[in-house]
Amino acid sequence: MKKGLADVIIDIRTTRHKISLWKNKIKTRISSYENIKDTKIPEEYKKETAQLKTILNTIEKLDLLLEMLEIKVETIVTVGIILNNVQDVVSAIKEFGKIYPFIGTDLLIEIENIYRDFSSSIDLPKEFKVRTTEGGKRILDEIDKSLNEKGSNRTIEINT
């Protein structure tokens, strides 16, 4: 079954929620390991804590990628809605010219020109295709850099 963009947004948000739960569990475990004072066990806990921090960092990267995707898909949906509304208005203008042909030849020509120019200027693809680009690698590098610079602070600026 083919999913719509709204379903994709729901899937992204659900996944981000799961990631948030995992991050909280991992942070809790890391915190509990760091509070252990027994001298015989800490070396094992230090290794697991390091592994958990690596996993947490990886999950945060995925969360940022999903957040970016969510914003992009929401933008596509919003632009699509706006585009549909604009197309409706432009179609209404053309219909106006048909309903009221007595407004004058000059205005009818202008209305037809506006409709034609608008229709030819809209250049959106019928399908949104995912493609692998160098831009994707650049975004991953920016996420790494931002996470390293700002820690887990969520006010990260990424140029997309």
Report residue 141 as tokens: 């590098």
Q: Return the pLDDT at 53.
A: 93
Residue numbers of the chain with a pLDDT score lower than 70: 1, 38-41, 83-85, 87-91, 94, 118-140, 150-160
Query: For 6, what's the count of Cα atoms within 13 Å in the CB-facing half-sphere?
Result: 3
Query: Which distant-in-sequence residues (6+ apart) come within 8 Å of 124 by Cβ?
Result: 83
Q: Is 100 left (phi over 0), alpha (psi -120 to 50) or beta?
A: beta
Supply the pTM of this predicted model. Answer: 0.62
Characterize 18-48 residue by residue with b for buried, 16 or more Cβ atoms within 10 angstroms of its Cβ, and e for exposed: ebeeebeeeeeebeebeeeeeeeeeeebeee
> pLDDT tens for residues 79-95?
877 766 676 666 677 67
Cα–Cα distance between 18 and 154 in angstroms, integer? 17
Distance in angstroms (rounded) separating the CA atoms of residues 159 and 156: 10
- Quote the pLDDT of residue 23: 95
Count Cβ neighbours within 10 Å for each residue of 115-138 and write b for 16 or more, e otherwise. beebeeeeeeeeeeeeeeeeeeee
Task: Write down the residue that tokens 């309903």 correspond to.
Answer: 99
Please report the pLDDT score of residue 132 as a whole number: 44
Q: What is the C-alpha separation between 128 and 115, in angstroms, rounded?
A: 25
